[in-house]
Structure 1
Amino acid sequence: MSSPAQDWSHPSTGSLVLLRHGETEWSKSGRHTGRTDVPLTDHGEQVAKQTGPLLERFHFRLVLTSPLQRASRTAELAGLTGAEVDENLLEWDYGGYEGRTTKDIRAELGRPWTVFEDGVVPGDTPGETVEDVAARTRRVVDRALPVLRDADVALVGHGHCLRVLASVFLRQEPRFAAQIKLSAGSVSVLGFEHETPAIVTWNRTARV
């Protein structure tokens, strides 16, 4: 996936900071949590609070968050002010696999399954393909790129969505996201090596 044309005489110097929401009861048990609006656990709130120091060195001109409470609450507890809701940061729509674990889905299908390779089935919601999620996250990246020229951007969201977004930013195929782990409450930083999008740090978590 190519990025929009940029003027490399003025290279980007900002950082794109990805903050995955803290622990929920569903993330703790491995249940696929797409559009279900579950709250943070007490531990998830503690981790979110302790994430603040990992963000202090950045100068955020733009902070975007998923509308779901586990993300917006994480942003608040981490000390990120002035956050704007961006619907494109919603988690993957898992359709009929919402609330189910990978182990349960594999047992039902009788074969190996991953959301990145095999996708989902319709349920109460239609579900999304990995390409659908990539198209949404491309809009977030396009919104962030002009700001990154000389300032930092924070994105607060969800595990699978942010992994796909990172793949898009890095100009990789969306399924590359399957190879980059993102823990609950983690901070990851993307930036540039000269004009090339690059991982600066990945999956850092606060000690609680």
Structure 2
Amino acid sequence: MKRILLVRHGESEWNAIRRLQGQADIDLSERGRHQARALGPMIATFRPGLVLTSDLKRAANTASLLGYPDATREPLLREHNVGDWTGVEIADLIAAQPEAYARWRAGTFAPENGEIWSDFRARIRSAINLALADPAETVLMVCHGGVIRAALDVALGLAPARIIPVGPASLSIIAFPTKKARLEVFNATVFSPILDAPD
């Protein structure tokens, strides 16, 4: 049975201060490196036959710390482009534009110069199709919280407004026993789950 393992990168330097990063190429914090190393043994038990990572360094470095330094860098797995909101602190966005932020989080609004949800979702559909076409039964994708939300929307029709933020260095699994996908795991970590993770 085909399985796609979706791992969000460990905490980044901007996650630590709750700054929206989108496609800004921000590295892991020291805590994020620790989180990624800690998750490695859990991921190894699945023995992925194909490992893909976003080409942004916080994801690629997470893949390396998980034990996959030669993971294929796949630009399709880049985070949602948040346009003019890049680098803005989440608390400031919520204070200044609460409705816009809530709509963005629900996939119904894009900030200026940002990626609209339908385009982002289509990009992630292409990444999932790439994984499904590969002969490997288990595919590991090391990516971003937005990518995981979009993957759940693509595979399961689970709208982003119905999903809590994906925690850093967490594992979600989508299985394909038939053409209909099922969610086997969501937001699993080796430490206490973070239920209010920054986007």
Query: Same fold judged by TM-score > 0.5?
Result: yes
Moved more, 35-44 or 192-201: 192-201
Give the secondary-structure state (helix, strand or coil) at the position aligned to 1:71.
helix
Paired residues for 1:1-208 under 5 Å: 13-109=1-97, 111=99, 113-114=101-102, 115=104, 116-122=106-112, 126-147=113-134, 151-170=137-156, 172=157, 176-181=159-164, 182-207=166-191
Q: Quick one: which amino acid aligns to residue 29 of structure 1? A: I
Query: CA shift at 1:165, angstroms?
Result: 1.5
Correspondence for 2:196: none
**Long gaps (5+) in structure 1:** 1-12
Query: CA shift at 1:177, angstroms?
Result: 2.3
Give the secondary-structure state (helix, strand or coil) at the position aligned to 1:132.
helix
Query: CA shift at 1:54, angstroms?
Result: 1.1
Maintained 8 Å contact 1:97/1:120: no
Give the secondary-structure state (helix, strand or coil) at the position aligned to 2:84.
helix
* Alpha-carbon RMSD: 2.0
Maintained 8 Å contact 1:61/1:147: no
Give the secondary-structure state (helix, strand or coil) at the position aligned to 2:45.
coil
CA gap of 1:58–1:41, structure 2 versus 1, over 3 A, is: same
CA gap of 1:36–1:71, structure 2 versus 1, over 3 A, is: same
- 1:173-206, CA deviations, whole angstroms, 9 ceiling, x for partnerless residues? 6xx1232231011011110354420111111112
Maintained 8 Å contact 1:16/1:189: yes
- 1:108-165, CA deviations, whole angstroms, 9 ceiling, x for partnerless residues? 236463213442322xxx21011111010011011011236x6100101111122112
Moved more, 160-169 or 46-55: 160-169
Maintained 8 Å contact 1:59/1:151: no
Maintained 8 Å contact 1:30/1:102: yes
2-structure distance, mates of 1:83, 1:22: 16
Larger radius of gyration: 1
1-structure distance, mates of 2:146, 2:125: 14
CA gap of 1:109–1:79, structure 2 versus 1, over 3 A, is: same
> Percent identity, aligned pairs only?
30
- TM (normalized to structure 2)? 0.86
Maintained 8 Å contact 2:110/2:117: no
Count of residues in Structure 1 that have an aligned counterpart in Structure 2: 189
2-structure distance, mates of 1:36, 1:110: 23
Maintained 8 Å contact 1:67/1:87: yes
